[in-house]
Chains A and B, each alone.
Chain A
Amino acid sequence: MSGGNAKTLSKLVVVTLLMFGFGFALVPFYYKICEATGINSGAEQSLVKNTQVDTSRWVTLEFDANTNAGLPWQFKPLQNRLKVHPGQLVQVEYEVVNTSDQPVVGQAVPSYGPARAAAFFKKIECFCFTPQTLAAGERRRMPVLFVLDSAMDRDVHTVTLSYTFFDVGTKARVSGEQRGVPHG
């Protein structure tokens, strides 16, 4: 009888140890399940949700690019039009090429149509913030990062953003952002 008991004892001890290990095995198992079902992933949780996006309407953006006479540059947007929700973070790109054989400094100036949309066109990053210096024959892609404020009038369905590059020679014009900075 006691031999039988010892056998049962050893079996039950093995079960106990296995279940102790099972507790730890649940750790990788948990992460596998999360991965397979796509829940609880760290990347998703760290995404900041923009709650300001007005998904109830679309606005068509048109992009236009010009160079002032005398500036030997080719300048064009990489996309002509885009449909966005107001409040959405948007990035677009422009391409510029210096076709002359010497370095040139240019400054882009934006204009908006209709003009009342200008106040709602919130740029976060733009090549128009600073003068751009292009070496001879240089080709460059330049981004604009902006949000169309969701407070913009609902009857505006299309906004045109137009940039014109002006030749500012070899000396940079002091841009709006740089005003107030003392020069040496």
Chain B
Amino acid sequence: MTDAAHAHSHDDHSHGDHGHHAPPSGMMRWLTTTNHKDIGSLYLWFALIMLFTAGSMALLIRAELFQPGLQLTNPDFFNQLTTMHGLIMIFGVIMPAFSGFANWQIPLMLGAPDMAFPRMNNWAFWILPVAAILLMGSFLLPGGAVAGGWTMYPPLFIQGGISYDLTILAVHIMGLSSIMGSINIITTVLNMRAPGLTLMKMPLFCWTWLITAYLLIATMPVLAGAVTMLLTDRNFGTSFFNAAGGGDPVMFQHIFWFFAHPEVYILILPAFGIVSSIIPTFARKPLFGYASMVYATASIAILSFIVWAHHMFSVGMPAAAQLFFMFSTMLIAVPTGVKVFNWVATMWKGSMTFETPMLFAIAFVCLFTIGGFSGLVLAIAPVDIQLHDTYYVVAHFHYVLVSGALFSIFAGIYYWLPKWSGHMYDETLGKWHFWLSVIGMNIVFFPMHFLGLAGMPRRIPDYALQFTEFNQIATYGAFIFGFSQLIFLVVVLKAARGGVRATDRVWEGAEGLEWTLPSPAPYHTFETAPVVK
């Protein structure tokens, strides 16, 4: 009893303290902030700016590909565009956006006052713009930006100019940022849950991010090692990958994909978490098969470590290895299928309504599944050798990364923005954004399946005449999709500035600790941990 009274008076004292500590105003507030909500917003704004940057590059690529021959770019600049588009979309858009969601939502969902290491959190964000400057600045250097593909394969990446060194340093920095963010997330989830909130009661978003964070600390250091070897090959006379000195460029591909295959799950597991939060809300039913969702997520993560060489069937390996990587890759379809069926079962006989977050979540389930199926096709080694480096691969990974990862980010923003800003977004504009995005996205990427099957290679600015029609269709779609993102920008800006006040619960069917808070969520929340029964 006395303990409780003591704790209570201590709480009062700390509340009083916070009253005197208004955040500094202007730029310093954002530079020095250690508040998880501020840092979450910073990540999301950064991702949005990068989305428009790398998206503009994609539009330039599609404009060049509108006709065969060279119109707008030369081949070297075209390769710079494809390389930078890939690097920025992965490391500058999808990953920071998911980190933004993690920073905003994980403490709110767990009933924690903040992330475990707020100052490290500040660093994890603020080194990202430095990496972005290194990457983007290399466009201005002699020789232009990196043009060797986002996969950074030697020998091209050993031979290039100064911008290749800058890109390697940028990858180091972005990796360090992800590792710091991941350590923060793991520690927060493991140690700072509200009393009574056991691991198996956590919202699935926390589970998927916990597993993602483990993947990140297991694989980001391997990428750091690989690019360090590139750096020493370039500058310090080592020959890890330099064939002239006895090295092996194929070894880079093995080390790189050992990182990069788990990376593709890093880019999709948090999306699974977001969608698993949204579908139950708008189906007004609890998530079907919660435990199986957790185990499926963990299975995908574990399997992701033993499938990497399916990216390299065409570089040559023994038949036994091809069979192993082919079947282990196909095995991933099982836990992924469990997830898709669980989402469908959650919607089954639910009292569904179709607000914008739910529309994006349903589009995610349908279109991500298409991307998953084309992934299964590519997993078949003999088929992959035919389709390797064609537009079929481009179609596949854009279905999982655009209509998968990016659509889940849109869904999550529409879902939680009222809680974050305190204002409802404009539902009409949101629906316009959704329909234009989903139609535009399919017009861009669906024809690419046919282009790939017909043999059009990726990363080349020119193409044979018979590919013209499908390329023109894709380019029309790209401009519809690209410009409809301006609607999203308007929606976010409008909701950030004002609008209809959101209720505390926001959505009729919403469940979870974050909805017990007022809207907008106060600057400091859960300073006294809530008790979860």
The answer to the question of B218 belonging to the interface, with a C-beta cut-off of 8 Å to chain A, is yes
Closest CB in chain B relative to A59 CB, distance in Å: 35
Is the CB–CB distance between B187 and A9 below 8 Å? Answer: yes
Cross-interface CB contact of A12 among B217, B248, B318, cutoff 8 Å = B217
Kindly identify which residue among B191, B217, B248, B251 contacts A19, using a CB–CB cutoff of 8 Å. B217
Residues of A within 8 A of B217 (CB): 12, 15-16, 19
**Cα-based distance from A22 to B222 in the complex (angstroms):** 7
Interface segment among A23-31, A48-56, A61-69: the answer is A23-31
Report if A170 contacts B (CB, 8 A): no
Residues of A within 8 A of B31 (CB): none
Contacts of A18 in B (CB 8 A): 221
Contact residues in B for A31 (Cβ distance below 8 Å): 248
| Complex contact B250–A15 (CB within 8 A) | no
Count of residues in B whose CB is under 8 Å from the partner chain = 33
- Whether B226 pairs with A8 at a CB distance below 8 angstroms is no
For window 122-181 of chain A, which residues contact chain B by CB distance below 8 Å? none
B186 closest partner in A (C-beta): A12
The distance from the CB of A125 to the nearest CB of chain B, in whole angstroms, is 32
Given contacts A19-B218, A30-B254, A39-B317, contact A24 B225 (CB under 8 A): yes
Q: In the complex the two chains form, is A16's CB within 8 Å of B117's CB?
A: no
CA of A140 to CA of B186 in the docked complex: distance in angstroms?
79
| Min distance, Cβ B486 to any Cβ of chain A, angstroms | 40
A9 with B219, Cβ < 8 A, contacts A20-B224, A39-B318, A40-B250 known: no
A47 close to chain B: CB less than 8 A: no
Q: Given A8-B186, A26-B258, A19–B221 Cβ distance below 8 Å?
A: yes
Q: Is B298 an interface residue (CB 8 A)?
A: no
Q: How far is the CA of A91 from the CA of B187 in the complex (A)?
A: 72
Residue of A nearest to B176 (CB): A16
- B117's partner among A5, A30, A39 (CB-CB below 8 A) is A5
Q: B225 — which chain A residues lie within 8 A by C-beta?
A: 20-24, 26
Contacts of B259 in A (CB 8 A): 23
Q: A8-B190, A20-B224 are in contact. Are A27 and B218 (CB under 8 A)?
A: no
B117 touches A22 (CB 8 A): no
State how many angstroms separate the Cβ of B183 from the closest Cβ of chain A. Answer: 5
| Smallest Cβ-Cβ distance to A12: which chain B residue | B183
B residues apposed to A, CB below 8 Å = 116-117, 179, 182-183, 186-187, 190-192, 217-226, 228-229, 240, 248, 250-251, 254-255, 258-259, 316-318
Can you spell out 5 A-B residue pairs with CB atoms less than 8 angstroms apart? A16-B183, A20-B222, A22-B221, A23-B222, A39-B316
